[in-house]
């Protein structure tokens, strides 16, 4: 079901929204294939968050540890490098928020299908990629083993990017 905004955007020749694109993708799949495809898409977006988190971590490390190690770096250029790193960090943060929003859209689609998904549904994807802040590395985590990573497994059927973490 499209919203008035999506209908207006489509009629005005504007590009489709992320939500309408994801919904069109899912509707283009055979009904039996949707749960697995959406499950893979959800954790595909989750891996994008992992890449962004690792990039942010590396950017922060570089700014704090390596800028001062550049030979003969004038203070004005060091400041320019820090300013540019800040701008890149803002873009990374925006990408993270957009990706989490996409995860929310996919999760809502999975939630809408929940009643129609067979109890013995098998998912092709059994591992997810996440950023391990302690080691500074990307790692894989089993989706059926909660606790391996503090964020995994997100519930792909009920993920809310706006939810407040009750533990934090």
**What tens digit of pLDDT does each residue of 18-65 get?**
888 988 998 999 999 999 999 999 999 999 999 999 999 999 998 888
**What tens digit of pLDDT does each residue of 112-161 get?**
999 999 988 889 999 999 898 888 899 998 887 766 676 655 778 888 88
The two three-digit tokens of residue 125, written as one number: 């994807």
pLDDT at 67: 86
Would the pLDDT of 88 be above 80? yes
Better-scored residue on pLDDT, 20 or 7: 20
Instruction: Lowest mean pLDDT of 4-13, 98-107, 134-143, name the range.
Output: 4-13
The two three-digit tokens of residue 167, written as one number: 């533990």
Domain residue ranges of the chain, discontinuous segments joined by +: 18-142
pLDDT at 9: 47
The two three-digit tokens of residue 60, written as one number: 């922060």
pTM beyond cutoff 0.95: no
pLDDT at 156: 85
pLDDT at 1: 41
- 135 vs 52: CA distance, rounded Å: 16
pLDDT at 2: 44
The number of beta carbons lying within 10 Å of the beta carbon of residue 22 is 19
Inter-CA distances, 153 with 7, 39, 89, 146, Å: 35, 12, 26, 6
* DSSP 8-state secondary structure symbol assigned to residue 94: H
pLDDT at 151: 63
pLDDT at 5: 46
């Amino acid at each position: 079901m499209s919203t008035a905004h999506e209908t207006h955007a489509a009629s005005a020749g504007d590009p489709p929204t992320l939500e309408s694109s994801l919904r069109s993708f899912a509707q283009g799949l055979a009904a039996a294939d949707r749960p697995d495809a959406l499950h893979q898409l959800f954790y595909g977006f989750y891996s994008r968050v992992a890449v962004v988190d690792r990039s942010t971590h590396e950017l922060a490390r570089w700014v704090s540890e390596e800028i001062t190690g550049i030979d003969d770096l004038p203070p004005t250029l060091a400041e320019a490098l820090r300013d540019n790193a800040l701008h890149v960090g803002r873009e990374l943060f925006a990408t993270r928020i957009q990706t989490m929003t996409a995860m929310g859209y996919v999760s809502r689609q999975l939630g809408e299908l929940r009643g129609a998904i067979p109890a013995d549904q098998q998912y092709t994807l059994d591992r997810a990629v996440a950023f391990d802040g302690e080691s500074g590395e990307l790692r894989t985590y089993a989706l059926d083993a909660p606790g391996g990573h503090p964020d995994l497994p997100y519930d792909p059927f009920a993920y809310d990017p706006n939810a407040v973490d009750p533990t934090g």
